Chains A and B, each alone.
Chain A
Amino acid sequence: DQQVKQNSPSLSVQEGRISILNCDYTNSMFDYFLWYKKYPAEGPTFLISISSIKDKNEDGRFTVFLNKSAKHLSLHIVPSQPGDSAVYFCAASGGVSTDKYIFGTGTRLKVLA
């Protein structure tokens, strides 16, 4: 049972436009969410996080939105750059296993120059 879902395996966006990556979760006990970016042959690197007490967190070109009632979060990248091309994972923690992160399956973003 996939508790964290990224239903779009891939996404292509034109350089300069907005990239929106989506993530849905089923466990209402999750209270902390993260996004990671992964380049080929490298480990994932932390991008941005959000706690369930907030509905938005912004860091430069990256903004994460959290809709608790819909159990949905999204990552917006504006403007998108070719260097943003990578696989993006969302992850959630909280509930019984507070130290365990549950990851989505990832979305491969391709930013076209």
Chain B
Amino acid sequence: KAGVTQTPRYLIKTRGQQVTLSCSPISGHRSVSWYQQTPGQGLQFLFEYFSETQRNKGNFPGRFSGRQFSNSRSEMNVSTLELGDSALYLCASSLAGHQETQYFGPGTRLLVL
């Protein structure tokens, strides 16, 4: 079974630009969660989607948004990029979401200059 895939793996953007990251979950998994990892903050929860609906949202500004498609693939968008958005963005998939083992993708490393 193929694992969680994320594209692109690396991205360089400049301040003010926007970016879209993509995540394809493991086949059959309907829940996709997004996390931001920075050295000082560890892994911080961004949001979770299940069956195309956002079920949970972390404490991030509205510049961070996401969506999920009918095939469970998910995209995350960050608008008006700031230097502090430089991080590793991880997505994780699970069957139903609650208290299930999450399987993480390799992440997209975003650098904002």
Contacts and interface: CB of A to CB of B under 8 A. Distances in A.
A46 B102 contact: yes
Given A43-B105, A93-B99, A101 B33 contact: yes
Interface in A56-99: 89, 91, 93, 97-99
A41 interface: yes
Contacts, number: 56
A43 B97 CA distance: 18
A43 B106 contact: yes
Interface of A: 6, 32, 34, 36, 41-46, 49, 89, 91, 93, 97-106
B43 A41 contact: no
B112 to A, nearest CB: 20
Interface of B: 4, 31, 33, 35, 40-45, 48, 50, 55-56, 58, 90, 92, 97-99, 101-107
A41 B88 CA distance: 10
Given A42-B106, A43-B106, A102 B45 contact: yes
A43 B40 CA distance: 17
Contacts of A36: 104
Nearest to B107: A43
Contact of B104 (A41, A43, A99, A104): A43
